[in-house]
Structure 1
Amino acid sequence: MRSLFKRPHINMLQEELETVMEVMASDLFIYLDLFVFSLIFTLLLGPVFQSLVISILFLAGSYGLFSSVYFIISRLSDGDKN
């Protein structure tokens, strides 16, 4: 069975790995990921909130907080590179 499966060349694997790393490190993916984490955080704290409006405000606030922390950290790390 092993003889039927040809392993791809290391160059192909390296190119695919670089593509995946570019997507995972893109700002759009990170902000989408932060939104999903904020949504999960809000849903887990749902029984604590008294209304839907407070839940939506908490979702927006937590997303804003997480996004601003990421923005500050990314700007500080970019400043170290320059």
Structure 2
Amino acid sequence: MRFLYKRPRMEHVQEELDTLMEVMVSDLFIYLDLFLFSLIFTLLLSPIINSFALSILFFIAAYSLFSSLYYFLISRIMNKS
């Protein structure tokens, strides 16, 4: 059955990879990823955090920290080059 499968052309594969890379490095995708990372980080630490209000505060602080690290370290370096 393998002989029936036609390989896609290299140009087509390269176009799809370029599109995928554009999405993966877009700011919206990165901030969404940071949001999910902060949420998972907060949920994993929920047994240690005493109250729900403190959990929300910790989530906001973690998201702010990760977002500012991305903005000041990665985003500025990418824009300079």
Q: Is TM > 0.5 for Structure 1 vs Structure 2?
A: yes
Query: How far apart are residue 76 of structure 1 and its match?
Result: 3.1
Query: How far apart are residue 77 of structure 1 and its match?
Result: 3.5
- The yes-or-no answer on 1:27 pairing with 2:27 is yes
Q: Which runs of 5+ in 2 are unaligned?
A: none
User: What amino acid sits opposite 2:71 in the alignment?
Assistant: F
Corresponding pairs, count:
80
For residues 77 and 24 of structure 1, the distance between their equivalents in structure 2, rounded to whole angstroms, comes to 14
Specify the alignment match of 2:76 in structure 1.
75
For residues 62 and 78 of structure 1, the distance between their equivalents in structure 2, rounded to whole angstroms, comes to 24
SS in structure 1 opposite 2:8? coil
For residues 77 and 13 of structure 2, the distance between their equivalents in structure 1, rounded to whole angstroms, comes to 32
Q: Percent of pairs identical after alignment?
A: 60
Following TM superposition, the consecutive aligned residue runs of length 4 or more in structure 1 with deviations greater than 4 angstroms are none
Q: Which runs of 5+ in 1 are unaligned?
A: none
Query: How far apart are residue 4 of structure 1 and its match?
Result: 1.1
Specify the alignment match of 1:62 in structure 2.
62
Give the TM-score taking structure 2 as reference length.
Answer: 0.95
- The yes-or-no answer on 1:3 pairing with 2:30 is no
